[in-house]
Amino acid sequence: MPAVRQRRNYKSAPARRAPQVRAPQRRKTQSGWSMKLGAWAHARLREAQYDSLSRRVLQGVSLFVIAAIFLTIAAAVGLIDDAGRAVSNTAATITRGAGLAVKNVEIVAMNERTMTNVQKAEVEAIAGIIPQDIMFSVSPKTIRNRVMDLPWVESVVVRRLWPDHIQILVTPRAANALWQEGGKLSYIDASGKKLGPADATKVTGLPLVIGANAAAQAPKMFEALSTRRAIAARTYALERIGSRRWNIRLRTGSEILLPEQDVEIALDNLENLQARYRLLDRNFTRLDVRRPGFLLIRPSAEITVTAPQSV
């Protein structure tokens, strides 16, 4: 007989189970229930507010104000004919009541420059902003174009600061000299542009330009003197002679006659003479450098020689 194998019962190893991660249990604390209760109460309160009569009145007033503002804008841009003027006037009144009218106009000088009270009055007058005018009808572009027409203005920025404020930021042109013509003084800039009248009692430190049509030719002399510091430091005024040439008046009262042509060559010669002989510091009334290679000097006082007396 074949041998009979005995079956052995092998116990299988138990399958490994994946570790179970227990979700953290929410702690039912009193603060959690109070937060839920507060959120529920807030939601019920919001529903009550939306359904209340006061909320409906507020919504109606808001819509009416928006409609009034729309009508005001439409009237300002010309979309409403004469038949709608009465409605637009009523809308404008409502818009003013909502606080959207001009109450303050601020005029500020930019870039650390200053404006006189007269200049501020000129800006305010030419801007043409009417008090209590509707903010929507105020055009910053129109105001800017008006203010830029002033000769002493370099740049302008106009802002509408809601709900009732207009700000005009002005950059005045920097005065570079004074122009005297016909006994009247005016400010001019580096380009020779006239900026407005000047008060002789309040002006200090600016060179003087004298003569008819002198302002237009002054920038070339300003540029020429900018690199000749010895002459520029002693210059009091530039006088235009017959629309042809310049005379330089020094602070000492002396006068230098410049030629019509080759002005820069003459100025260079003066700079060299000043550096070597201190010529500009000498006592003279007139220095003529109009002829190349010649230097004519008129002393301030004639030198008299007294003959010795006989004994």
Entry field: residues in the chain = 311
3-class DSSP assignment, residue 257: strand
Q: What is the CATH number assigned to the segment(s) 104-172? A: 3.10.20
Tokens at 132, concatenated:
């209590």
Q: What is the structure's pLDDT at 137?
A: 83
| Domain spans, the chain | 47-97, 104-172, 177-299
What's the rounded mean pLDDT across residues 28-56? 54
Equal fold, 104-172 vs 177-299: no
pLDDT surpassing 80 at residue 64: no
Considering only CA atoms, give the Rg of the chain: 43
Mean pLDDT on 30-40: 56
Question: So what's the pLDDT on residue 65?
Answer: 58
- Tell me the H-state helices in the chain: 30-51, 53-76, 85-97, 117-127, 140-147, 214-226, 229-234, 263-277
Confirm if 165 and 106 have CB atoms less than 8 A apart: yes
- Average pLDDT across the chain, whole number: 78
Q: What is the 8-class DSSP label of residue 101?
A: B
pLDDT for 176 beyond 90: no
Confidence of residue 310 (pLDDT cuts 50, 70, 90): very low
Q: What is the CATH number of domain 177-299?
A: 3.40.50.11690
DSSP 8-state class, residue 162: T
Check residues 268 and 301 and name the one with the higher pLDDT: 268
Using one digit for the tens of pLDDT, what is the confidence trace for 222-252?
999 999 999 999 999 999 998 899 999 999 9
Q: Where are the beta strands (DSSP E) in 134-267?
A: 153-161, 165-172, 177-181, 184-188, 194-197, 208-210, 235-241, 245-250, 255-257
Residue type (1 letter), 276: R
Residues 96-139 have pLDDT tens digits of 666 778 899 999 998 878 888 888 999 999 999 988 888 888 89
- Average pLDDT (21-47) is 55
% of the chain with per-residue pLDDT over 90: 39
pLDDT for residue 202: 74
209-225 confidence digits (pLDDT tens): 999 889 989 999 999 99
Spell 223-232 as b/e; 16+ CB within 10 A means b: ebbeebebbb
pTM, two decimal places:
0.55
Q: What is the pLDDT of residue 198?
A: 84
Note the pLDDT of residue 249. Answer: 95
Read off the pLDDT band of 146 (50, 70, 90). Answer: very high
Over 50: is that where the pLDDT of 306 sits?
A: no
Q: Which single residue is written with the structure tokens 């002693």?
A: 234
Q: How far is CA 245 from CA 258, 259, 287, in A?
A: 7, 6, 15
